[in-house]
């Protein structure tokens, strides 16, 4: 199976039969003069001859620009104020965004999905795309106030793509989401992390590096994983994580840890370096829910496997 996954052709064949879920890239390919079929392999190498336009708050200061947007005045003051440091920090925190009652209902929904075997854990620690099975969880990701904030941060409309639910701490090493869910132009994905309970220092809380979103995006070529016309790169994901670790040390980035309260929301930039701390108390939980959103006008793909993103539009 591992050998099978080393080649691009099996993915291309699979993609051929997923036309409805892959047509979203074609108009944007055309916009940037990229000649590709909907099912073709795609990676950052396809765009290396094109300058990637910056999103407004990667180019201009969010503390100045966001208040100019007419929609800013529609936000609650506490939410609006939290968005202003986006350009500088690459993240923002919405304290107690979801009520305790709302979080309890989401936790109950997740427990029911697990008990009914509607969803399964992937890689032993996460539930993928629970929003495809639950209107309640989907409604959390499509919360009107939340979407308004995300649209302001990216300076464009976003659409919910993916959800991930965790029961325990991920302990995932530091990474950028843009190696997994990549866009062209770069930076057109945004993430939301929801604390489903109070999260202390012993249960593997989220860590992040403020300002790290300003570093160049790390793509396959940066850690020698480009591959060839027919084969994917041979480096492991561990090789990518090791490369990120060298960047953290080189740039002397300062790590911060988010000890969240139930209902808190952490929003991060496409290129913010983040991960999960080591779980000290093995009996502890770290219930959390993550949503990822793509900007509507971006080419969407997965850099490591060089696959165009399958979008399920029924959610």
Tell me if 257 is assigned to some domain.
yes
Confidence label for 6 from pLDDT (cuts 50, 70 and 90):
confident
Q: Which residues, in sequence order, are CB contacts of 194 under 8 Å at separation 6+?
A: 97, 98, 103, 106, 140, 263, 264, 265, 288, 289, 290, 291
Rounded average pLDDT over 84-107: 98
Look at residue 1 in the predicted model and tell me its pLDDT.
44
Q: What is the DSSP letter of 251?
A: T
| CA 73 – CA 66 distance, rounded (Å) | 10
Domain span holding position 97? 4-308
CB 163 within 8 A of CB 289: yes
CATH number at residue 8: 2.60.120.620
Identify any residues that bridge with 159 across adjacent strands, giving them in sequence order: 294
Total-model pTM: 0.95
pLDDT in tens, 217-247: 999 999 999 999 999 999 999 999 999 999 9
Does 105 reside within a domain? Answer: yes
Per-residue pLDDT band for 4 (boundaries 50, 70, 90) equals low
Closest CA to 296 of 159, 119, 144: 159
314 within a domain of the structure (yes/no)? no
How sure is the predictor about 140, in pLDDT bands with cuts at 50, 70 and 90? very high
56 in a structural domain: yes
Name the burial class of residue 137, with classes exposed (0-12), middle (13-18) and buried (19+) by CB atoms within 10 angstroms of its CB: buried
164 belongs to a structural domain: yes
In a domain? residue 315: no
Please, is 175 exposed, middle or buried when counting C-beta atoms within 10 Å of its C-beta (0-12, 13-18, 19+)?
middle
Alpha-helical runs (H) found in 116-192: 135-141, 144-154
pLDDT of residue 156: 95
Q: How far is CA 98 from CA 101, 104, 179, 292, in A?
A: 8, 10, 29, 17
> Per residue in 171-199, pLDDT tens?
999 999 999 999 999 999 999 999 999 99
Contact 178, 215 (CB under 8 A): no
Residue 315 pLDDT grade (very low, low, confident, very high; cuts 50, 70, 90): very low
CA 115 to chain centre: 27
In this structure, are strands 121-122 and 274-276 parallel, antiparallel, or unpaired? unpaired
The DSSP output letter for 167 is: S
> What's the CA gap between 146 and 6, in Å, rounded?
39
Cβ atoms within 10 Å of 243's Cβ, excluding its own: 16
Tally the domains of the chain.
Answer: 1
Question: 137 lies in a domain?
Answer: yes
Evaluate whether residue 77 is within a structural domain: yes
Cβ-based neighbours of 78, under 8 Å, separated by 6 or more: 94, 95
Q: Could you give the 3-state DSSP secondary structure of residue 5?
A: helix
């Amino acid at each position: 199976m591992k050998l099978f996954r080393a080649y691009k052709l099996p993915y291309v064949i699979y993609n051929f039969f997923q036309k409805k879920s892959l047509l979203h890239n074609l108009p944007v390919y055309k916009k940037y003069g990229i000649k590709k079929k909907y099912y073709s392999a795609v990676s950052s190498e396809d765009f290396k001859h094109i300058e990637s336009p910056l999103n407004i708050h990667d180019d201009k200061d969010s503390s100045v620009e966001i208040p100019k947007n007419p929609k800013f005045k529609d936000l609650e003051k506490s939410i609006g104020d939290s968005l202003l440091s986006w350009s500088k920090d690459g993240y923002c925190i919405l304290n107690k965004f979801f009520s305790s009652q709302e979080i309890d209902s989401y936790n109950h929904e997740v427990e029911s999905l697990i008990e009914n075997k509607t969803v399964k854990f992937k890689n032993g620690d996460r539930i993928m795309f629970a929003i495809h099975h639950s209107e309640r969880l989907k409604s959390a990701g499509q919360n009107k106030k939340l979407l308004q904030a995300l649209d302001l941060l990216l300076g464009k409309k976003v659409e919910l793509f993916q959800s991930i639910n965790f029961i325990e701490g991920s302990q995932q090493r530091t990474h950028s989401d843009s190696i997994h869910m990549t866009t062209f132009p770069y930076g057109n994905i945004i993430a939301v992390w929801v604390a489903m309970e109070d999260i202390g220092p012993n249960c593997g809380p989220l860590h992040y590096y403020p300002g790290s979103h300003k570093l160049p995006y790390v793509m396959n070529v940066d850690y020698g994983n480009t591959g060839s016309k027919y084969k994917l790169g041979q480096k492991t994901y561990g090789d990518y994580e090791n490369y990120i670790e060298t960047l953290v040390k080189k740039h002397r980035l300062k790590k911060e840890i988010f000890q969240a309260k139930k209902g808190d929301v952490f929003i991060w930039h496409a290129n913010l370096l983040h991960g999960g701390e080591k779980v000290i108390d093995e009996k502890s939980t770290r219930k959390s829910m993550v949503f990822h959103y793509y900007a509507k006008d971006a080419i969407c793909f997965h850099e490591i496997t060089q696959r165009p993103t399958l979008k399920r539009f029924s959610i």
